[in-house]
């Protein structure tokens, strides 16, 4: 299937969500009622299985059944499908543990799961929860805070927890730039034992750094920029600095033109046109949703939540203007 979300033999897609189906980028999966218990989330998101380790054996013309040292196969407990080959010291975080990460956060701290599922043929899985933080910048559209936890079963991704913000009108995403005493992203490799409590401490889940992020967005909303200033800013940010303006590649010129189009008439542009926040939202729009050519749901998810360098660099550069 083009979306490449994991689908079992009965055709059930390993994805669950709350809210309207039309807001989901691929329109597939199980629509859950808000407040569904975590066991339901595990089942409906296709995350109610374990990765199991098995030794690797191979035959030669001299000796049958040789064991491959220091390597194991990981396979699914529900259908025995192979997932990956990893080292014997690989510490697995199971799909159900990704959901369990949010148990105390949903039961005692007001968070609400909003989506969860498996990507890249079931080798990566994630859960996303609303933190309960929401605000509306000056003349801007509402922004909702989320906490994302994602990991892999094939060694391609560390255990990663991060705060992200989502702009309601256009679903643009941006990693939340928190204060200096906490981390917007916490990564733990699979060489260490997973400790969800320590991750939550490192993230600073219960502190007030959301206020710092709100202050930054309001500063951008209050900083006026003319259309020419925004255009010059995009060129400075995304043109090749080693070339003059007339020597830029067609791709670089097209990117700036796309950004200007999003700045002037993209989703939600009417809220913050003429401000630095409008320039930031054009960038988050482009690097969240692409140019409309990306059809693979796996890649769209990755663009939205992990293609963040350009977004954060843009935010920092615009804040320097304020």
pLDDT tens digits, residue range 230-265? 999 999 999 999 999 999 999 999 999 999 999 999
Helices 250-265 & 276-289 angle (0-180, nearest 10): 120
Tokens of 58: 């191979």
Asked if pLDDT for residue 311 goes beyond 50, the answer is yes
State the pTM of this model: 0.83
What is the CA 20 to chain-centroid distance, rounded?
A: 19
| Residue scoring higher pLDDT (283 or 308) | 283
Task: Give 183's pLDDT tier (boundaries 50, 70, 90).
Answer: low
| Residue scoring higher pLDDT (10 or 64) | 64
- Contact between 308 and 174 under an 8 Å Cβ cutoff? The reply is yes
Asked if pLDDT for residue 19 goes beyond 90, the answer is no
Residues 83-124: pLDDT tens digits? 999 999 999 999 999 999 999 999 988 899 999 999 887 899
Asked if pLDDT for residue 70 goes beyond 50, the answer is yes
- What is the pLDDT, as a whole number, of residue 321? 94
| Residue scoring higher pLDDT (157 or 41) | 41
């Amino acid at each position: 299937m083009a979306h490449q979300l994991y689908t079992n033999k009965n055709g059930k897609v390993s994805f669950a969500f709350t809210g309207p189906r039309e807001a989901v980028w691929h329109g597939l999966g199980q629509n859950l009622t808000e407040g569904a218990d975590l066991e339901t989330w595990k089942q409906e998101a296709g995350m109610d299985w374990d990765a199991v380790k098995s030794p690797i054996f191979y035959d030669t013309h001299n000796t049958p059944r040789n064991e491959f040292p220091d390597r194991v196969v990981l396979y699914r407990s529900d259908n025995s499908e192979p997932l990956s080959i990893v080292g014997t010291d690989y510490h697995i975080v199971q799909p159900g543990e990704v959901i369990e990460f949010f148990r105390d956060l949903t039961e005692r701290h007001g968070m609400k799961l909003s989506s969860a599922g498996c990507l890249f043929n079931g080798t990566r899985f994630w859960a996303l929860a609303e933190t309960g933080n929401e605000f509306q910048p000056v003349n801007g559209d509402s922004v909702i805070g989320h906490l994302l936890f994602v990991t892999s079963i094939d060694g391609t991704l560390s255990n990663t927890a991060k705060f992200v913000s989502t702009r309601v009108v256009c679903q643009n995403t941006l990693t939340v730039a928190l204060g200096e005493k906490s981390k917007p992203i916490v990564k733990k490799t699979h060489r260490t034992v997973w400790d969800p409590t320590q991750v939550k401490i490192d993230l600073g889940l219960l502190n007030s750094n959301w206020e710092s992020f709100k202050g930054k967005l309001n500063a951008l909303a209050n900083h006026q920029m003319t259309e020419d200033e925004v255009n010059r800013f995009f060129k400075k940010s995304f043109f090749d600095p080693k070339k003059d303006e007339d020597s830029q590649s067609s791709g670089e010129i097209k990117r700036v033109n796309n950004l200007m189009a999003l700045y002037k008439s993209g989703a939600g542009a009417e809220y913050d046109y003429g401000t630095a926040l409008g320039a930031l939202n054009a960038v988050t729009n482009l690097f969240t949703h692409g140019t409309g050519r990306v059809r693979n749901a796996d890649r769209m998810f990755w663009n939205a939540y992990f293609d963040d360098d350009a977004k954060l660099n843009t935010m920092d550069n615009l804040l320097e203007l304020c």
